[in-house]
Structure 1
């Protein structure tokens, strides 16, 4: 029986312990290492060259798309399986273009998780997408609909488009700075953005913001 080697990446120790227990109980799966942030993920993959890396979307450090690119750069043969709480079609679409081998929600069953990891270890097996039907349809046909931002997310992004800092946005809207950061993370996920400028540009392209916001954030960058 061929064995599949794995690196786990999640910033919650309890989650990593649970994943290690589930995967380690399988006779053909070996968990070699784990990490809690993007830099640690790249180091662990470089050191172990695993068959599969199971990667959480929300970890400290680089955006997940950057982390995926760095992982593929240090170990091109390692398959990346995304594990996340967020069912975001824009992010899903971008990650598919980066060549991920699977995208699982954390609500997936143990069986789905094990199957996705095994599938990813088979190199040429099809991509596993355990997401909602709506997200899959939107990822396949992004022209058919727009990402949905909440009113508050729009307000935050509009001010970001005016080259305002997180602290300035917080003061303007009467929010705490961590709350502003949380809204921005949500916006990045929904739009598949990797930076503030990218978020504004994608919001403009999706007709979520007017074009003058793109010019203003560009001038303030």
Structure 2
């Protein structure tokens, strides 16, 4: 089953390095009648290519596929298809990885031991409400996540760039201040926009302040 323009199906991409597991997921999801599989991949490079070509509503991403580390794959997917909601599938219940992935922008983390109705419900839930996060993990992992401070998924360097952007410095000025290439600063700004779901520099700064990632400050005129 595949989605077509104008269809009411929820489009889903599946990424796992085991073909038999992908086939099982396809059968489970398509049995519901309102979910269509638009692509599959077995590694991180294939995942990014598939998402770029199909822009699925939801991506089911195995945590241990060959290639890039999973948080890198999540970041690439979010850059090329910000509207795609990512649900991680894993055999392991690790609170540190879960925290990092939530900061990177995933919308779900499910252990592979979940029942089929839980999987279908998770896909529909994050599609219907992109702000919702669905977790099927242990109480220990959940407690760890709830006690972790918000980071917005921004790296230390991205926070430095955004701090200077909040002072109304241009990309060229930020590059000189941090000893970076201007192209690198632009890449950091694009990543910041994606991670904060921002549409402008001012919007990114305001959202970072609201999330306590940056302290409120008066804007200067730059250098």
TM-score, normalised to structure 2's length? Answer: 0.62
Alignment correspondent of 1:110:
116
The C-alpha deviation readout for 1:8-65, integer Å capped at 9, x for no partner, is 0000011000000000111110001100000000000000000000000000000000
Q: How do 1:154-165 residues align onto structure 2 when only pairs under 5 Å count?
A: none
Give structure 1 regions of 4+ aligned residues with deviation exceeding 3 angstroms: none
Q: CA deviation at 1:2?
A: 3.3
Counterpart among 61, 77, 83 of residue 89 in structure 2: 83
1:97 and 2:103 matched: yes
CA-CA distance at 1:126 after TM superposition:
1.4
**SS at 1:19's partner residue?**
helix
**Cα distance, 1:101 vs. partner?**
1.0
Give ranges in structure 2 of 5+ residues lacking alignment.
1-6, 150-223
The structure with more helix, counted as a fraction of residues = 1
Kindly provide the CA deviation profile for residues 153-178 of structure 1, in whole angstroms up to 9, marking residues without a partner as x. Answer: xxxxxxxxxxxxxxxxxxxxxxxxxx
Unaligned runs of 5+ in 1: 144-221
**SS of 1:121 mapped into structure 2:** helix
- Show the counterpart of 1:2: 8
Alignment of 1:173-212 (within 5 A): none
TM-score by length of 1: 0.62
State which of 31, 35, 49 in structure 1 corresponds to 2:37: 31
Q: CA RMSD in A?
A: 1.4
Cα displacement (A) at 1:142: 4.7
Report how many residues are paired.
143
Q: Does the Cα contact within 8 Å between 1:34 and 1:41 map onto a contact in 2? A: yes
1:127-138 alignment, distance < 5 Å: 127-138=133-144
CA contact (8 A) 1:93 1:140 kept: no
Q: 1:20 matched to which residue of 2? A: 26
SS at the partner of 2:64?
coil
Note if 1:66 corresponds to 2:72: yes
Q: CA deviation at 1:124?
A: 2.9
Q: Distance in 2 between matches of 1:68 and 1:129?
A: 17
